């Protein structure tokens, strides 16, 4: 079982780990511009797209779960239908985002008060990067489908291609052509369309024979579409709440000034970096969970959950040690602004505990999605965000400032992980094993 998990997880980790490197490079490029407002603008703009795209990450997650179960049941027609249902939805949603870009920009950026320079730079970034929406969402679908088909190497190749292209183009546009914030955004746009082309090529040459299983009469099957949207709507709400919480965290940071906004934008990169690595094991656990549920293998299902959580714990220990030992040096790579570096010394201890408090939430997300136990995952997220995080964020900010905000964020991840763990027996094991 360890070998099966690692065979899926390692390519996922390699591909996922390149994603935060792109964010780190963007922050580093902005961190060497003339003002902390550039870092705040990039951080805020990036967080808005993280909010949007993680909210729509059901396109990847739901596709993985449904495809993995169809694959486990050897239902190749449904595997193919799932891909094309999701692609139709991804292109439609991408075009809607482009059409609605002006109201989105006003509501989430220019309509806010505080840190005017940073928000102006965030608007510049948004207006360029929004044009990548159809490509980004379609790549989500292809990634989820490839993983659901038990192939995590193709997503690794695609993600590495996207990330390397993004980094090289952003550096070229900023350092060579002096395009500033717009250059960083343009690098992202072009890299996403490069990734979409690569996804289509991989599908054509590696899974082209599956096209024959596509059934136009069943692709729009009402019951299958209902299941697709039911699973995806739950994931959408969960993802919207999660990224909404982080976006709101940054929005509240705006009230504390450019330096705190820039500091928090950098500190969140540490959380994103860990989450992308942890998601490699989360995807592996979810893929095998879906496969074993589809195949009716109850004992294997129990074992994969236990093993995946254990891998997540060991991973969190490694990251905790790395952040304690090298955290301040990573800060120095991301910015050379003296005021931010001095300010970071008062808050750096919060990044030391991020991995330990969040690993269970990230790992169990994949397991719940693989089991399509998304209603329970959604409900736990609702309770934690509305009853704990939002009240605590404002109460603790009032009494303890930015320290209080980080404490509230840690409570969010810890409570969500514990909730998913406590409910996993009823939501996943009991529900599915008794039906085998």
On whether the CB atoms of residues 275 and 355 are closer than 8 A, the answer is no
SS3 assignment, position 314: helix
CA 206 to CA 130: how far, in whole Å? 30
Half-sphere exposure of 95 (CA within 13 A, CB side): 6
On whether the CB atoms of residues 288 and 5 are closer than 8 A, the answer is yes
State which H helix or E strand residue 436 sits in: none
Phi, psi of 222 (to 5 degrees): -60, -45
Which of 139, 153, 112, 264 lies closest to 196 in space, CA to CA?
Answer: 139
SS3 assignment, position 194: helix
SS3 assignment, position 434: coil
- Tell me the pLDDT of the chain averaged across its residues: 84
The two three-digit tokens of residue 228, written as one number = 């697709």
What percentage of the chain reaches a pLDDT higher than 70?
Answer: 92
**Centroid of chain to Cα 152:** 17
Beta carbons within 10 angstroms of residue 225's beta carbon: 14
Q: Exposure pattern of 100-129 as b/e (b: 16+ CB <10 Å)?
A: eeeebbeebbeebeebeebbebbbbbbbbb
pTM: 0.71
CA 301 to CA 255: how far, in whole Å? 47
Encode pLDDT of 259-298 as tens digits: 888 888 888 888 888 988 898 888 788 888 878 887 777 7
Which of 177, 393, 355, 391 lies closest to 275 in space, CA to CA?
Answer: 355
Inter-axis angle of helices 76-99 and 133-148, nearest 10:
160
Report whether pLDDT(407) > 80: yes
CA 412 to CA 409: how far, in whole Å? 5
Beta carbons within 10 angstroms of residue 400's beta carbon: 13
pLDDT band for position 158 (50/70/90)?
Answer: very high
SS3 assignment, position 417: helix
Which of 344, 358, 330 lies closest to 274 in space, CA to CA?
Answer: 358
Encode pLDDT of 190-231 as tens digits: 999 999 999 999 999 988 887 777 777 777 777 777 777 777
SS3 assignment, position 347: coil
Which of 279, 244, 232, 281 lies closest to 389 in space, CA to CA?
Answer: 244
pLDDT band for position 435 (50/70/90)?
Answer: very low
Encode pLDDT of 361-402 as tens digits: 999 988 888 887 888 899 999 999 999 999 999 999 989 989
CA 426 to CA 436: how far, in whole Å? 15
Sequence-distant (6+) residues with CB within 8 A of 123 are 45, 105, 109, 110
CA 364 to CA 362: how far, in whole Å? 6
The two three-digit tokens of residue 41, written as one number = 């603008």
């Amino acid at each position: 079982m360890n070998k099966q998990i690692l065979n899926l997880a390692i390519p996922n980790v390699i591909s996922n780990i390149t994603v935060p490197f792109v964010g780190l490079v963007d922050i580093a490029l902005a961190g060497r511009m003339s003002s902390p407002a550039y870092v705040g603008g990039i951080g805020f703009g990036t967080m808005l797209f993280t909010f949007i795209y993680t909210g729509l990450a059901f396109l990847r997650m739901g596709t993985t779960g449904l495809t993995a179960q169809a694959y486990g049941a050897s239902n190749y027609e449904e595997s193919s239908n799932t891909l094309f249902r999701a692609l139709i939805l991804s292109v439609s949603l991408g075009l809607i985002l482009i059409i609605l870009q002006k109201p989105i920009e006003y509501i989430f950026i220019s309509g806010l008060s505080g840190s005017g320079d940073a928000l102006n730079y965030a608007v510049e970034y948004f207006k360029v990067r929004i044009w990548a929406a159809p490509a980004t969402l379609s790549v989500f679908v292809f990634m989820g489908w490839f993983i659901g088909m038990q192939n995590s190497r193709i997503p690794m190749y695609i993600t590495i291609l996207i990330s390397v292209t993004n980094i090289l183009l952003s550096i070229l546009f900023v350092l060579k052509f002096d395009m500033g914030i717009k250059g960083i955004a343009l690098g992202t746009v072009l890299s996403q369309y490069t990734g979409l082309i690569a996804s289509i090529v991989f599908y054509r040459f590696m899974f082209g024979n599956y096209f024959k299983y596509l059934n136009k009469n069943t692709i729009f099957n009402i019951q299958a579409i209902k299941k697709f949207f039911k699973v995806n709507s739950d994931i959408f709400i969960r993802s919207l709440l999660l990224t909404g919480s982080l976006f709101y965290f940054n929005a509240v940071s705006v009230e504390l000034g450019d330096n705190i906004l820039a500091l928090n934008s950098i500190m969140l990169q540490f959380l994103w970096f860990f989450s992308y690595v942890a998601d490699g094991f989360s995807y592996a656990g979810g893929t095998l969970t879906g496969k074993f549920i589809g195949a009716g293998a109850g004992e294997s299902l129990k074992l994969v959950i236990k093993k995946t959580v254990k891998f997540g714990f060991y991973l969190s220990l490694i990251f905790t040690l790395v952040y304690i030992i090298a955290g301040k040096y990573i800060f120095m790579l991301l910015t050379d602004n003296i005021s931010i570096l001095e300010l970071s010394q008062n808050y750096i201890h919060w990044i030391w505990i991020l991995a330990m408090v969040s690993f269970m939430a990230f790992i169990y997300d994949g397991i719940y999605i693989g089991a399509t136990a998304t209603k329970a995952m959604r409900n736990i997220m609702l309770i934690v965000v509305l009853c704990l995080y939002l009240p605590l964020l404002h109460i603790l900010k009032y009494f303890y400032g930015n320290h209080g905000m980080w404490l509230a964020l840690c409570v969010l991840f810890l409570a969500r992980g514990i909730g998913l763990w406590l409910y996993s027996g009823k939501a996943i094991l009991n529900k599915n094993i008794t039906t085998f």
